[in-house]
Structure 1
Amino acid sequence: MTGMDGSPRFNSLGFAKAPAETRVVVAMSGGVDSSVVAAMLAREGYDVVGVTLQLYDHGAALAKKGACCAGRDIHDARRVAEKMGFAHYVLDYESRFREAVIDEFADQYLAGYTPIPCIRCNQSVKFRDLLATAKELDADCLATGHYVRRVEGSAGAELHRAADAARDQSYFLFATTQEQLDFLRFPLGGHGSKAEVRGMAAELGLAIADKPDSQDICFVPQGRYADVIEKLRPGAAEPGEIVHLDGRTLGAHDGIIHYTIGQRRGLGLGGGETGGEPLFVVKLEPETRRVIVGPRGALAVRRVALREVNWIGPGALKDAPEGGWEAKAKLRSTRPAIEARILPSPEGATVELLSPEEGVAPGQACVFYDGERVLGGGWITRG
């Protein structure tokens, strides 16, 4: 496929061949975003293969709304494929999902961490296992409905924030490797608001155009994660003490799984014990089963230790210039990125923040940015 001057002419996914000769596996959750991606590419003439993952016993989830992986979503994805005339498969990834995501989720909470299972799911089940399946199907690429941009840079594919900052999901994709990024495509990353995408769904005639966004972690009904952990690890959530930084024992708790760093509400402490000062969770000690609380000022940190660091920036992380890589660091999905220096360490990296940040919780992700580009990131550990 060439242009008027004989040079290669690339299709919308960046391949120098006709859409009909380009096989695209689309990860279809049954939601609006991935459905629009699949339908849009099918209309453009691509050889689309839709794949929906059964990640747990979806029969028990049929009545649960606000989740991305329920049986209803599998049905919705199949309907889109039937309407647009492309193949659709449901793959049973239940055992992989339990081992890579659910079990770790429970174990991390019991160890005093605050995990983000959606990142682990992208990192393992979707961008490792499903991507391998796409290659086995002789696909040219794997497309998803994530709001993030893949940009061809001078040294290869780069990961960038979405055009719509309000929809940007780059924080949740920091663990994407360079090899994975070369194979992935994110057709919605350059689009505007969710309203625009819903409009595209309506224009394509998709019945899911008005379907609500998923809100919960898919295997955690109504956000009640403690219930899930207690079901997975019966008796593992042991009671303990709530202790002030100054050593005073202020009360008792029913298990550290009910707490996270920065938490203020739900401590169950009366004004008599605290002297009236607002107290926050500043540390969790799984070994002693203690929840450590203190004033808000005790939450501020300037150095953050990371493990399992993924670097997709220029050069290599270990080749950082003197003083470290200059970047902006995002330490929670809901917080803005702040100025920082990234220094390689034997465990992964140390992040030096130019201004203190509160509520930095082990188990959360720290993601590095250079402007709109994602440089990588790592998992926050306990120093």
Structure 2
Amino acid sequence: MRPIGIVSILREQTPAPDRSFNFLMAAAGNNTGNLLFTHAVWEHLPGPKERIGFQFDPDKVNATCRAVVFPAANWFGAHVDLADFADRVERLDVPVTMIGLGAQDHDFTGKVDVPEGTLRFVRAVAERSRSISVRGTYTRDILARHGFRDVTVTGCPSLYQPLQPDAERRLLENAKSTLGPTLLHSTRFSARYRAFVDTPSIHLDLYRYAYRTRSDLLFQSELEEISLLVEAAKKPDIDDALIATLLDLYGAASWEELQAYLHNSARVFFDIPAWTQAMTGYGRAYGTRLHATIMALNSGVPALLVHHDSRTREVCEFADLPSLKASRAALDEDAISKSITRADFGKFLKTRGRNQETYRAFLADNGLL
């Protein structure tokens, strides 16, 4: 049987002194959260598979693969033009399936300006598949406004990674426990974007709270901090101006103190098994990262997501992820514990089971099972 060609980032990698930092991050799509849904899609598809990369040759794929799969992200928005994907998919003769497409809209207004290249890409996929998998009803409705109606709401494929042993029992029993450390997570890319520090947000508050309480902090896309934690060549320069910004960002008194905190309490993972194993040491997880929350829940760790845009909100609503909106988030130990204690993890697990059936039916309908 010919393999399924998967258009994805690397599933995992190991940081090394001879590997450039830019390659390390780029191979994870500049956000290690991408590893979670990518890994999930690879695990969910049986039979032979091969990674064909983002610059795949359509003629070669037509000759060697039986189908093409795109593990998708929040690609339906003004921030990205996927004309190159459109050019390639339009030349494919094999079935093409997109899994987990999301719309990106900060204000949840439904007014999403989508570049023509992205519309062409989605149209080309739609013409080669039974339906398109999307992360929530919000994305479904936005796609419908652009004429795409063969859509299945599945949520993110990372939701359906196998639960760790005894995860359901631990979620239900440990939700009311105060034992174990808290893993915090927030959302940011490069600290060179000074406006992040100068603009009040739940994201900024989380970084400062984590540092103030010396809590463990998970990184996924924070380039400067990650560069301090991993072995890699050609790391980005951290000059005096950037140090000053980082000190302001965390509310730290000195660069030495901030570096010590990061080396002692920060975490970053470039492979899913290591990330999963590390989660077993935590009592709870809290913050604005969708995939950090899903990883915790799949590992049996009570977690709550602070949703802050259309992408995070729609998955919370569809999957019944324990969550609250950013304007209601209070950052102190008691408030975090109470928010998690009040969360309905039983409802999440029940909804997960029902949605997983929809997801598997989607895969089967597209000839992938």
**Same topology, TM > 0.5:** no
- Choose between structure 1 and 2 for higher RCO, CA contacts under 8 A separated by at least 6 residues: 2
Q: 1 or 2, which has the higher strand percentage?
A: 1
Task: State TM-score, norm by structure 2.
Answer: 0.25
Task: State TM-score, norm by structure 1.
Answer: 0.24
